Structure 1
C-alpha cells in the first residue's frame, strides 16, 4: 500500500482556520461519530465506519469526493491509516490525522484576548471538548484559571511568555474533564485556590476562595475579584478582572447557563442560579466581557478566535436570563436533569476530589467525548 501523509492536530487546526473547506472522513462507528466529532464553520464531515471498507464494496465510495483531499480520522489513528491507504490506491487524495481523535482531544490553542500596559489575558481553547482556560499575566507573574489536565501546556506557555505561575484557580469542581489545577500548582509551587464548598470532605491541599475578596499580583496590582456565583455547583466562583472581564466558569455561557443537576439537587441548585443571575451578576455592567469555561457550539467562537461576549449581549440574546419569575426559572432550569450528562462524569469528579487515582492513559481516555455542562442556548 502507498503511504499517505500524516497531519498533526495543530496542522489540522491551521487547515480549519485557513478559510478553505476541510473534508473529514470519519471512520469510527456511527454512534461515536454522532456523539462527538471534529467541527468547524468550514468542515464537511462524512461518516463511513471502518468495517465497511473491509467489505470492498464500491457503494461505500459513492459519497466520497474525488477532487479534494480528505483527512481520514479514527479513534487513535490506525484504522484511518488503513482506510486512507486503501483509498489512495484507488486515486483518492487522503491524509491521516496522526493519533486520531485521541490526539485531537489533547490539542490546546491559545489566543490573546487583551493586551495593555498592565496585563496580558490569554484564552486557551481545547477545541475537541469546548473547554476554555485562561492565563492572566502581569509584570512577569501569572494566574491560570481552570487549567485542563495537560499541565505541560501551561508551563510551556509560562516559558514562552516569560512569567512565573504564582496562582492557580479552579472556578468549580469540574465534571467533564480532569482538572490540572492542583497538579500544576504543585509542580510550579503556586497557590491552588478553589471554593471549600466544592471540595468539602476531601484531603486536597488548597486555599479557600471564599477567604479572598481579591487576588493581586504583579507590580501594577492586576486585581482579580472572586465573585461567588453558585448554581452550576454550590461553590461555583467567577472572577472579575479589572472590572472588564468576567471569567464566569460554568455559570454563564455565551449562549446559555450552567446546568445545575449534576449533583443530584437540580431544583435546589437552580434556586442558587436564579440568585446569581438576578442578584449578583445583575449589578455588573453590560460592557463586561464574559469569558466562560466552556462553549457548546463552534459558532460561539467569534471572528477573533475568542469565545466571549458582552454581558449586555448575553442578557439580550438569552431568554432564560430575562425570566425573572423565580418559580418558572427554577422549573425550566431544573429540566436539565433529563438531558444527557457528561461522559464518565462521576469518575472524573472523584478524580478531581482526590478520591480516585488513575494512570495517564486511563485519564486521557476518560475525557474523550463532548462536554455537556450547558442546558440552554439562544432563542
Structure 2
C-alpha cells in the first residue's frame, strides 16, 4: 500500500488550527531535542530510524488510534520507509514530504490587517523556523520587510495581488537566516535598504536605511525608526501610524539578544535605550509585528504573531526591569546557544560568500535563537 505524503503546508494548517496530530520523529535524539515541530495539540514519540530497522511491531502499541500519525525525519527518506513498515502492520500514517528541511522553509501568508486607503498588510509566518516576514500592499505597489531566502514566494505573492515591489527592507543584518532581500530587489528593480551601521563589511550596493527615512507605496507610508541593541544598526518601522515592525529588538514574549556580533556588553545599553526610551515614547495602540517568534504559543488564533505595544509594556518581562544592572545581567548572562552557522549566515548576508542552495538549507537548519531567554 502506498503511503501518503503530507506537505509542510498541511502540517502548518494543523498547527495553526490546533488540530490533533501525533508525530513519530525518527531522527536521532539530539536532533529531536534541539528542534521539532511544535503545536498545542501535538503529541510526540522519538525513536531513531536505526532502532526501527528490525521492525516496528513494538512501536505500534504506542501509537494512538484517535488522531493522524505523521512520520518525520530530516529529508523524508527514512520517514517513508518507516511509514511503509507501519502500513504493513495495518497502521495508517503519513510522512512529512521533504522532511524537516521542507518544514524549515514553509512560509504561511497571513493577512495582518488593512492599511489606510484600502491597502493590506501580510505576515509570512515561517512556522518551522520562527521567522516573520512582511509585505505591505497599497494601490498596486508593495514593500517587503525582512524577507527570507525563499524569494519566489514573495515574488509570486506580489504577482497574485497585482502589485509591483518597489521597496525591500532588512531591519538589520540577519544572523539566523539568509535574507532574500537582495534577490527580490534584483528581480524587480526595487530599492534594497540596509542599515549602514550593520553594513560596514557588505560588498554590494544598497540604499542606506537611516532614522526618519520615509518610503511610500501607493498611499501607505513606511517610516524608519533607529532602534539599536540586537545589532548596532537595528531599525524598526512604523507603517501608516498603525503598525510597529520591531525586527529582532522586541518580540511578543521576549526581547532581542545583543551578542550575535560578539558585542553583548557593548550593545546592551543600546538595547535598553531602544526598549525603555524610544519605544516608550510611541503610542501604545501601535500593533507590534516582530521579525521572529520564539514559542508556538505566541501565535494568534489566525496564525499571525502580533500584539499592541501597550500590552507588551504590561506583560513582557524584558520591558519591566527597572534596575539597569539587573537588566544588563539578564541580557548578557541569560543567552541561548548561538544560531547554527551564524557566522557563515552573516557572511552570506554581507555578500562575502555565496553558498549553493543545498548548503544554505543546511546552514539554516535548527530553531530560532534570536531572543534572550
Same fold per TM (> 0.5)? Answer: yes
What's 1:158 paired with? Answer: 158
Structure 1 residue 328 corresponds to structure 2 residue 326: yes
Q: Measured at CA, do residues 51 and 26 of structure 1 come closer, stay the same or move farther in structure 2, by a change above 3 Å?
A: same
Measure the CA separation in 1 of the matches of 2:263 and 2:67. Answer: 50
Task: Tell me, yes or no, if the aligned pair for 2:55 and 2:85 is still in contact at 8 Å.
Answer: no
What's 2:267 paired with? Answer: 269
CA positional deviation for 1:296: 0.5
Q: Select which of 346, 351, 356 maps to 1:349.
A: 346
Task: Tell me, yes or no, if the aligned pair for 2:143 and 2:166 is still in contact at 8 Å.
Answer: yes
Measure the CA separation in 1 of the matches of 2:108 and 2:139. Answer: 23
Q: Which SS does the other structure have where 2:175 is aligned?
A: coil
What's 1:367 paired with? Answer: 364
What's 1:183 paired with? Answer: 183
Q: Which SS does the other structure have where 2:157 is aligned?
A: helix
What's 2:231 paired with? Answer: 233
Q: Which SS does the other structure have where 2:196 is aligned?
A: coil
Task: Tell me, yes or no, if the aligned pair for 1:248 and 1:290 is still in contact at 8 Å.
Answer: yes
What's 2:289 paired with? Answer: 291
Q: Measured at CA, do residues 211 and 280 of structure 1 come closer, stay the same or move farther in structure 2, by a change above 3 Å?
A: closer
Measure the CA separation in 2 of the matches of 1:266 and 1:308. Answer: 27
What's 1:94 paired with? Answer: 93
Count matched residues: 372
Equivalences for residues 178-257 of structure 1 within 5 A: 178-210=178-210, 213-218=213-218, 220=219, 222-257=220-255
CA positional deviation for 1:8: 1.3
What are the superposed Cα offsets for residues 83-136 of structure 1, whole Å, 9 maximum, x if unpaired?
001011111111111111111111101011112534100000000101000000
Measure the CA separation in 2 of the matches of 1:356 and 1:318. Answer: 37
TM-score, with structure 1 as normaliser:
0.95
What's 2:35 paired with? Answer: 36
CA positional deviation for 1:66: 4.1
What are the superposed Cα offsets for residues 285-327 of structure 1, whole Å, 9 maximum, x if unpaired?
1111100000000000011221011111111112231223322
Measure the CA separation in 1 of the matches of 2:17 and 2:297. Answer: 16
CA positional deviation for 1:17: 4.0
Task: Tell me, yes or no, if the aligned pair for 1:209 and 1:226 is still in contact at 8 Å.
Answer: yes
Question: Which 4+ runs in 1 deviate beyond 4 A?
Answer: none
Question: Cα RMSD (Å) of the superposition?
Answer: 1.5
Measure the CA separation in 2 of the matches of 1:67 and 1:296. Answer: 30
More deviation, 316-325/173-182: 316-325
More deviation, 8-17/54-63: 54-63
User: Which runs of 5 or more structure 1 residues have no equivalent in the other structure?
Assistant: none
Q: Which SS does the other structure have where 1:137 is aligned?
A: strand
CA positional deviation for 1:18: 4.5
What's 1:59 paired with? Answer: 58
Q: Which SS does the other structure have where 1:63 is aligned?
A: coil
CA positional deviation for 1:14: 2.8
Measure the CA separation in 1 of the matches of 2:17 and 2:371. Answer: 29
User: Which runs of 5 or more structure 2 residues have no equivalent in the other structure?
Assistant: none
